[in-house]
Structure 1
Amino acid sequence: MQPFFDFLGSYWWLVFPIGGMMAGAGNAWERRSRLRHRRRLEVIKAKGELKAAHSQVPAAGAVAAGQTADEDIVRAQSQKERMARVLAAHDAVIKKWLEYELDVAKVIAYPAMSDGRQPLTAAFLRAKKVADNLRPESDTAKLTPELFAEYRDAVTDCEVAFDVAERDARRLKDASFTPVERKRLDTAQQLLAVAIDQAATPAERQLAYKRVRQELDGLISLSDDAIDALEKRVAHEIASPQRESSHPPASPPPPTT
């Protein structure tokens, strides 16, 4: 033990930098723990709000022996209405997600929403897959109360996951990029405005579109659907004034006799 104490006596000053490093690591771990806890609370809160808004599934069981035909019709209509509401909620969350997938301006502004490597975005994509797999063909589909409840809960989970991922993406914005990369994103956003601007010439729009793709290369991976949507929009802006000027002049009316 004596050599150990001799070492401590000679290098006692190491206590200060090592202590600082340990304190920094402890603070970082505490910050990550608080962030995870806050996200869990957001999920729990959002899920509770959505479940409270959704209608409850009626208890399973046999139809009462004295139930009339009118009651059967009312019950069927009520089931159809509940199914229609859940399907509408499912469609709504898909529509909001597609806005981030297809709108390149939103992809640039909130890149985390189209990045499957982001934990919250990945969680939404998993929840969406579950809800999509459970989705019935129409609001008239015959589901048992258990299957309906499973689908309804899957849609609720999908809504919650999207809401949490969206809030996180809007908070992060481009914070995960370096200053140089953020400058490229800003440039791409400005060029995108030119590419879809009717006031710009066709050559300016085509050049701006190509430069948008170049600036985003290696930073953001655009989906094929997003590229198709952007190309169609740029082509439409270019074709529109051309179509207006390409109509041949009307032939003069034949002389009257």
Structure 2
Amino acid sequence: MHGIWGYWWVIFPLMGVAGGWWSRFSSYSEKRRQDKIEMLRITHGTATAEVEARQATRSGMDRVLATHDDVTRRWFEYETNLQTIIDFPMMTNVREPLTADFHRARVVADDLRPADPAELTDHATFVEYRDAVNAYRVAFEIAEREAQRRRRSDYSTAEQSAMARAGKLVAVADDESATRAERQSAYRHARRELEGVLLVPERAALQLERRISGVLETGH
């Protein structure tokens, strides 16, 4: 025992070595801990980013589909309402360049709309469809503004008078407080007033005829 204590001076260098080793071990452990934390942060951040990207894509898809439906609904209001057609005839006159542009854009957007919305998760497909819908919306709004500005001004005085009379008759035909005979007579006279003046879309005629008769045909 006495011999061992004779080397007491060796203890201090050994303690220094052990201290240095422990310090390096502690630093290594801390670095591994920090690396794990960073990896978890990156992994979580990536997962969160992927979820947010999917949500953004879904939100974008929903907005584009809703815009497409909204523009089509607005178009149908012109295509199926005889009174509106008489007031804004340009919207159903495909010989008008702006109306023709709108219908061409509508066909493109309708053709690009997928039967399954899940197909829009493909970025290229989504971008092509989104751009087509935007073109459809813009073309429709340009045509609509011009139609509302011009109204019936493109027609002769006699034609405008005939359209005005037809508009009053259509109001009677669409009036539920009038008798069926009165409504039917008003509708027939309105169609006669418009002959040779304004082409009435079949949809608009059918809509009004069904309201007059009170019968909705199955399948239409």
TM-score by length of 2: 0.73
Change (3 A) 1:186 1:124: same
Cα offset, 1:129, TM superposition: 0.8
Q: SS of the residue aligned with 2:117?
A: coil
* 1:180 alignment partner, SS class: helix
CA distance in 2, matches of 1:139, 1:82: 11
Higher helix residue share: 2
Distance 2:88 2:208 in 1: 17
The superposition leaves residues 185-213 of structure 1 with CA deviations (integer Å, 9 ceiling, x where unpaired) of 00000001111112222221110011111
Distance in 2 (CA, whole Å) between partners of 1:117 and 1:181 is: 18
- Distance in 1, matches of 2:69 and 2:154, equals 31
* Count of matched residue positions in the alignment of Structure 1 and Structure 2: 174
Equivalent of 2:112, from 108, 129, 134?
Answer: 134
| CA displacement at 1:79 relative to structure 2 | 1.2
1:124 and 1:214, CA in 2 relative to 1: closer, same or farther beyond 3 A?
Answer: same
User: 1:48-197 residue pairs with structure 2 within 5 A?
Assistant: 68-197=46-175
1:145 Cα offset (Å): 1.6
Q: In the aligned structure 2, how far is the partner of 1:91 from the partner of 1:151? A: 13
Question: Is the contact made by 2:184 and 2:212 (CA closer than 8 Å) also made in structure 1?
Answer: yes
Q: TM-score normalised to the size of structure 1?
A: 0.63
Q: 8 Å contact 2:88–2:148 — kept in the other structure?
A: yes
- Structure of larger gyration radius: 2
Q: Conserved in 2, the CA contact under 8 Å of 1:124 and 1:162?
A: yes
Q: Is the 8 A contact 2:120 2:126 kept in 1?
A: no
Cα deviation, residue 69, structure 1:
4.7
Once the two structures are superposed, residues 68-119 of structure 1 have per-residue CA deviations (whole angstroms, 9 ceiling, x without a partner) of: 5554343222211111100001111101011000000100000000000001
**Matched AA of 2:167:** Q
Give the Cα separation in 1 of the matches to 2:97 and 2:209. Answer: 30
State the distance in 1 between where 2:175 and 2:44 align: 68
Identity between Structure 1 and Structure 2 (%): 40
Secondary structure, counterpart of 1:174 in structure 2: coil
RMSD (CA atoms): 2.1
- Shift of residue 138 of structure 1? 4.1
Change in Cα spacing, 1:173 to 1:94, as seen in structure 2 (3 Å) is same
- The answer for the alignment partner of 1:49 in structure 2 is none
* CA–CA distance in structure 1, aligned partners of residues 67 and 169 of structure 2: 35
* Alignment correspondent of 1:209: 187
How far apart are the structure 2 equivalents of 1:228 and 1:87? 28
Alignment deviations for residues 190-239 of structure 1 (CA, whole Å, 9 cap, x no partner): 001111112222221110011111111111112221111111111129xx
Letter in 1 for 2:119: A
Query: Partner letter of residue 160 of structure 1?
Result: V
Q: CA deviation at 1:164?
A: 0.6
Q: Which runs of 5+ in 1 are unaligned?
A: 1-63, 238-257
